[in-house]
Amino acid sequence: MRPTLTDAQTLDDQDTLADFKAHFALPEGMLYLDGNSLGAQPNAAREALDVTRDQWRDSLIGGWNQGWFDAPERLGNLLAPLIGAGEGEVLVSDTITLNLFKLLGYITESQGRARPIILSEGGNFPADGYIAEGFCHSAGFEHRVLPEGAALEEHLSDQVAVVVLSQVNYRTGQLRDMAEVTRRVHAKGAEVIWDLAHSAGALAVDLAGSGARYAVGCTYKYLNGGPGAPGFVYVRSDCQQAGWQPLSGWHGHAKPFAFDADYAPASGMTRFRTGTHSALAYAPLEASLTLWQHVDMAALRVKSLALTDLFRACLADLFEAHGIEDITPAPAQRGSQVGLVQREHGYAIVQALIKRGVIGDYREPGLMRFGFTPLYLSHADVWHAADQFREVVESGEYRDPRFQTRTEVT
């Protein structure tokens, strides 16, 4: 039987995370199911930006001694417990792309360049493959792609140096068994770099418990750091002195203010810093990560699964008649999103929903993605979003020509 609004409200009455919604600035009348692309703004972010802006105005260069300079390490320590890392194992810096490049160079150097192959995965967000291909082109390695759906073991050998994998697939929401995959890769003498873009802040990541040594991620999605917020890089503590990373910038120097002519890498995660970062970009992220210190990650996961299950249950009877395929994995194998495919009308359905104030996103070919962020979504919100989806599809509203025009960003 299809869930009712009363059912959703009953779940809200039992929600231990319900109070967090008041900490976010959400436009009135909007049902935001796109936190897997860009998270909502924490209320504290505005004040944090004002403080940093005032420091810039009042202290000018002195601001670097008022918390700006050590922000990459400080925010890394705030982020660490959310992904199962220890203090001094995470650096907030640059982007996933740059941090992945750093790790590819760092790991292959630590291996003495003895293994010639870098393996990335097909069928997932292509950016990791792009940077792996670019690294191989510039550094003389061979880039190979793991075909979508292929068994990883069939592509591992003593020639593979590094495997780059996402914990959660950006299209399907498929969640990999990090511990088991890490064990298999390490058993072949290779390293694995985990991309946590769609898992950090979406579920309880356990880097330490899984045996992971390297990871990268972003903070502008589920972690609500703001548009263009810096990425992060994780290196297990016993792997931090293995060599140089290839982007040997000023802030990664052991003594940056000695201005030595020759480079000497800093100890620990600081060696993965590059150049001068944006203090303004770190301010709202720190506000968000401070709020995250009060979140029970186990409760977050329970609510995430409840929200995704509710959305699907509200719409399940609609799919077959309208040519919609639900590609969302089973609960234990999913991240925090629902994926629905309608190859002919998917884009238009999403645009019609956006017009109604229900924000999801679209990815080719035909994929309608809906991200569920437990800190600022209620079960009633999800019920109303599903109700709007039903109205758009059953009425044929999406067939209006205005919903057929493609925008630059989908």
Q: Which residues are catalytic?
A: 125, 195, 220-221, 369
Exposure string (b/e) for 231-249, b if CB count within 10 Å is 16 or more? bbbbbbeeebeeebbbbbb
Close Cβ partners of 58 (under 8 Å, ≥ 6 residues apart): none
CB–CB of 115/159 below 8 Å?
yes
C-alpha torsion 144→148→150→155, nearest 10: 10
- Classify 153 as helix, strand or coil: helix
For the chain, the straight-line distance linking the first and the last C-alpha, in angstroms and rounded, comes to 33
Q: Quick count: other Cβ atoms within 10 Å of Cβ 385?
A: 27
For residue 226, give the nearest of 354, 89, 336, 75 by alpha carbon.
Answer: 75
**CA–CA distance, 410 with 326 (Å, rounded to integer):** 20
CA dihedral 95, 101, 107, 112 (to 10 degrees): -160
Burial class of residue 158 in the structure, from the number of CB atoms within 10 Å of its CB (0-12 exposed, 13-18 middle, 19+ buried): exposed
Distance of CA 248 to the CA centre of its chain: 25
Q: Which residues pair with 146 in a beta bridge?
A: 121
Question: How many CB atoms lie under 10 A from the CB of residue 195?
Answer: 26
Query: In Å, how far are 86, 154, 200, 248, 308 from 238, measured between CA atoms?
Result: 11, 29, 22, 20, 38
